[in-house]
Amino acid sequence: MFTQPNITLQDTYQTLVRLLLPEGLLDYFELTKVTRGDQGFQISLEEKNLPPFGYEQQQLESKGFLPEVSIQDFPIRGQKVALCIKRRKWEVKSTGENITRDWNLVQKGARMTTEFGTFLKGIFG
């Protein structure tokens, strides 16, 4: 049996979740809820309160979230998966400008992750 010293149960869960979700997603989003229903899994994620690129030196104030977006992702165990994503918005205190992080999560023209869109394109041409 393969074991690693000092690995906590939390570390194990984080590893499993990172394997199931699109690469890098948990760097910027927190997993808030997972539900399983007749339509499959709904995985809820909220963007972390980390300054967007180019605004690291600015004083920002979080102004909540944009409306939640549901994105189709790879099935898990034969069940449909919807990533329910809440993106954060901020106000730049010095200018009053409202900003959001520039995400390229959704394939152009489709409501699914870019990774899943590329996968389908490879299958169906």
pTM of the model: 0.74
Place of tokens 């898990």: 76
Output the CA angle 32-70-48, nearest 5 degrees.
40
For the segment 87-91, the average pLDDT, to the nearest whole number, is 94
* Helix residue spans in the chain (DSSP H): 9-20, 25-28, 114-124
Q: Where are the domains of the chain?
A: 9-124
Percent residues over pLDDT 70 in the chain = 77
Closest C-alpha to 85, from 36, 45, 52, 50: 45
pLDDT over 90 (residue 54)? no
Q: How far is residue 102 from each of residues 55, 96, 106, 120, measured CA to CA in Å?
A: 12, 18, 11, 24
Alpha helix ranges (H) inside 4-107: 9-20, 25-28
9-27 mean pLDDT: 85
